[in-house]
């Protein structure tokens, strides 16, 4: 799966949240400072090319919707990060965050309970 730029991910997050929207509706929910309409429109067209976004015509405009599920992209992104930075080892990744004090023992226990619940 292709990786997205930060700007592309921001647009995708909006589309995942809204389900479908035109560029004006996306701009409404973007944080300040809002990008220009043409900037968002260009990003959406790039996302179409990358096959992340589809559209349907509505009047003279387009309504855009995600073609890739958020969970699919998250999974692919996490796998890439683990492969690129932790030699493919989730254990190394978790260990890294625990050592950096960005994850407490109770959070780790909670994660283990969540994992075991799905078995």
Give the per-residue pLDDT at 45.
97
Listed range (14-28, 61-75, 86-100) with the worst mean pLDDT = 86-100
Given a contact cutoff of 8 angstroms between Cβ atoms, the answer to whether 22 and 58 are in contact is: yes
Taking residues 8-20, what's their average pLDDT?
Answer: 97
pLDDT over 80 at 60, yes or no: yes
- The yes-or-no verdict on residue 119 having pLDDT over 60 is no
CA angle 15, 19, 24 (to 5 degrees): 55
- Average pLDDT of the residues in 73-99: 89
HSE on the CB side for 115, CA within 13 Å? 6
Task: Identify which has the larger pLDDT, 82 or 101.
Answer: 82
Domains of the chain: 6-66 (1.10.10.10), 86-119 (no CATH)
pLDDT above 70 for 58: yes
Instruction: Judge whether residue 112 has pLDDT over 60.
Output: yes
Cα torsion 50, 51, 52, 57: sign: positive
Q: What's the rounded Cα separation, in Å, for the pair 15 and 81? A: 23
In this prediction, what percent of the chain has a pLDDT beyond 70? 98
State residue 100's pLDDT score.
81
């Amino acid at each position: 799966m292709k990786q997205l730029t930060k700007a592309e991910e921001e647009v995708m997050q909006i589309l995942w949240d809204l389900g479908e929207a035109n560029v004006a509706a996306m701009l409404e929910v973007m944080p300040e400072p809002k990008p220009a309409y043409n900037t968002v429109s260009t990003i959406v067209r790039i996302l179409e090319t990358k096959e992340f976004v589809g559209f349907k015509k509505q009047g003279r405009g387009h309504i855009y919707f995600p073609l890739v599920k958020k969970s699919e992209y998250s999974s692919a992104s996490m796998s890439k990060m683990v492969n690129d930075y932790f030699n493919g080892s989730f254990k190394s990744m978790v260990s890294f965050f625990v050592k950096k004090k960005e994850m407490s023992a109770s959070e780790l226990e909670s994660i283990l309970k969540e994992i075991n619940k799905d078995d």
